[in-house]
Amino acid sequence: MRDYETWFAGRNYIATGYNPRMIYGKYNCDRSEDIQKMSFSDGYFDAVICIQVLEHVENPLLAAKEIIRVLKPGGSLLVTVPFLAFYHGKKCRNHAPDHESYPDLWRFTYQGLEQLFRDITHVETASLSGPIETRLSFILPDWLLNFKFVRGLIDIVDHPQKVRSTKRYLLYGVK
C-alpha cells in the first residue's frame, strides 16, 4: 500500500497488513491488523483503501462492517475485489494465514460487493476490465496484455461497464 501514500501527502497515512514480515524497509506495513477486528476507534479514518483483500479473509461481511465502523461519517471508501480471476492465494502454513501466505476464498459480483457495503450512504461500482480483456487474460500473459500497443487496442475497443465478464470490480463509497 506504500504506492498510494503520495495520494495523501501531508496527512496521517497508515498502511496495515495481517501479520506482515517487516523485511521490506520503507515498504513495510506500519502495523499488523486483522481487517475482521481492527484496533482503531470508531470513525478513525477519513478514507479507507482496500485493494484485493476481501477475497482472502474468512468473513468478508465482518471485514466490511469493520471498514465501515472505522470510517468517519462523510469518509471515502475505495475497494477492489476479483470476480473472474485466477486463484492467487498462497499456501497457509499450519492454517495460520499471514501477510505472506494466505488463502484465496471468495469472488464477488458487483451486487455482492454492494450488499457487503449496503450501510454506506453513497455507493458506486464499476468494472475494471471489459469483456474482451477479461477473456484475453485467460489465454495471454499479463505482460503481453500491458504491452503498449496491445493495451492501446484493448482500450479502444473494450469499454468496461457493469458487465458479467470482468476481472475485477471497484466500489467507491461515502459513509
Digit-coded pLDDT (tens) for 129-168: 888 888 888 888 888 988 899 888 888 888 777 667 899 9
* Cβ atoms of 85 and 168 closer than 8 Å: yes
* 155 within a domain of the structure (yes/no): no
* 134 within a domain of the structure (yes/no): no
Q: How large is the C-alpha radius of gyration of the chain?
A: 17
* 150 within a domain of the structure (yes/no): no
Residue 21 has pLDDT above 90, yes or no: no
- Quickly state the pLDDT bin for 27 (edges 50, 70, 90): confident
* 146 within a domain of the structure (yes/no): no
- Residue 128, judged by CB atoms within 10 A of its CB (0-12, 13-18, 19+), counts as middle
pLDDT of residue 85: 87
Give the CATH number, domain containing residue 36: 3.40.50.150
* 140 within a domain of the structure (yes/no): no
Share of the chain above pLDDT 70, in %: 90
Question: Chain-wide mean pLDDT for the chain?
Answer: 87
* 73 within a domain of the structure (yes/no): yes
Structural domains in the chain (count):
1
Host domain of residue 166: 2-129+162-174
pLDDT of residue 13: 83
